[in-house]
Amino acid sequence: MIATETLSSPRASAAPAQTLLPRGLAGTPDDKEMLRAAVDLTRDIATARPEIYWPDMLASAALGYGALAGAILLQNPILAVLCGVVSALALYRAMLFIHELTHIHKTALPGFRFTWNVLVGIPMLTPSLTYEGVHTLHHARTRYGTAEDPEYLPLALMKPWSLPLFVVLALLLPVGLLIRSAALVPLGVIVPPLRKLVWERASSLSINPDFRRRAPEGDFARMVFWQELGASAWALFVLGWSATHSWRPLAIGLAVFALTALLNQIRTLVAHLWENEGEAMTVTGQYLDSVNVPPPALLAPLWAPVGLRYHALHHLLPSVPYHSLAEAHRRIKAHLGLDSTYDKANYAGLTPLVGRLARSTMLPR
């Protein structure tokens, strides 16, 4: 969204696709055995379990806000910083349940969407409207990796400076969200062109600067109204309280939220190989352009929580809940064996993936 508007796209000036995509991901035929096995082996674990979702989300939010209070109230700087880090990690996990909200059936977890928005989405100025109706486009068979995919940029084909810029700009996201909810959305009520611009360009967690969001309709439009109202009311309250009491809690909160945004941007950086230049891809091609970081990678649950360490598998089975992905991975890998197509999307950890992406940007085009 805001943090990626300045990145340049290579689509207009890039070299021919056969040079840029030596592995031919855009033309990869579907591995029907893998696709069939993925569905058949996971039928019995494809239901969202409320006894896992609710405690996980509530505990993550409670820990996050409790640690944030410690970061604000503690006078010892070391303890305050430690609390801030814990808060960022816990709130990051709580925030990423927004990804689950876009995939689970509306009737699967009654009240979960509303509660998540009240406890996490609105306080962090990222209600579910910023992802719902957008993320599903990323999974569309004819949109993934194309100019119509809101969550795709061919980062591997861009300039080397694009990667650090992509990551660092995430630190500005909390301030951008505060400006959006406190000023731009309220002003849009009386300035229709501004309202249209904000909705099209700054209402979604997208990274494609060419993406333009369609106007909401029906039930979704009503949901958007209430979520925008809640986020704007909260933003204005926080600014008003800070102006009359102290700016310190807001500054610390923004710093913690900036760290969560940074973690998410780093995760996004290695969620895919980012090697597609705009062609429609098969499901197998999408899978191979995506990334799993399964065990024994120890830190993956911290930087890719709520099942996102299995991002490639998620592209095979987008409706399988996060708590079933580890078992799904185990079953599919055991069934297909080593050196299968499935095994080719499994990587050892964050550092090798960042290194691969960085080296790719340095290749001559």
pLDDT at 232 over 90: yes
Which of 230, 222, 218, 143 is closest to 181 using CA atoms?
230
pLDDT at 12 over 80: no
> What single DSSP character describes residue 214?
P
- The Cα 303–Cα 263 span in angstroms is 6
- Region 156-179 average pLDDT: 95
Q: How many CB atoms lie within 10 A of CB 291?
A: 25
Q: What is the pLDDT of residues 312-322, one digit of tens each?
A: 999 999 999 99
3-state DSSP assignment of residue 346: strand
Q: What is the pLDDT of residues 259-280, one digit of tens each?
A: 999 999 999 999 999 999 888 9
- The Cα 96–Cα 208 span in angstroms is 20
Paired residues of 290 in beta bridges: 272
pLDDT at 3 over 50: no
Say which residues have a Cβ less than 8 Å from residue 40's Cβ, sequence separation at least 6: none
pLDDT at 162 over 50: yes
Q: Is the peptide bond before 160 cis (omega within 30 degrees of 0)?
A: no
Q: What is the pLDDT of residues 87-111, one digit of tens each?
A: 999 999 999 999 999 998 878 899 9
Q: What is the pLDDT of residues 116-133, one digit of tens each?
A: 999 999 999 999 999 999
- The Cα 119–Cα 161 span in angstroms is 37
Q: What is the pLDDT of residues 327-348, one digit of tens each?
A: 999 999 999 999 999 999 999 9
Q: Which amino acid is at 250?
A: L
pLDDT at 226 over 90: yes
Indicate the pTM of the whole model. Answer: 0.91
Straight-line distance from the first to the last Cα atom of the chain, in angstroms, rounded to the nearest whole number: 27
- The Cα 310–Cα 325 span in angstroms is 7
Assess contact for 79 and 70: CB atoms under 8 A.
Answer: yes
- Predicted confidence at residue 1, as pLDDT, reads 42
Q: Which amino acid is at 297?
A: A
pLDDT at 17 over 90: no
Is residue 20 very low, low, confident or very high in pLDDT (cuts 50, 70, 90)? very low
Q: Among residues of the chain, what percentage have pLDDT more than 90?
A: 87
Which of 181, 166, 180 is closest to 262 using CA atoms?
166
pLDDT at 27 over 90: no
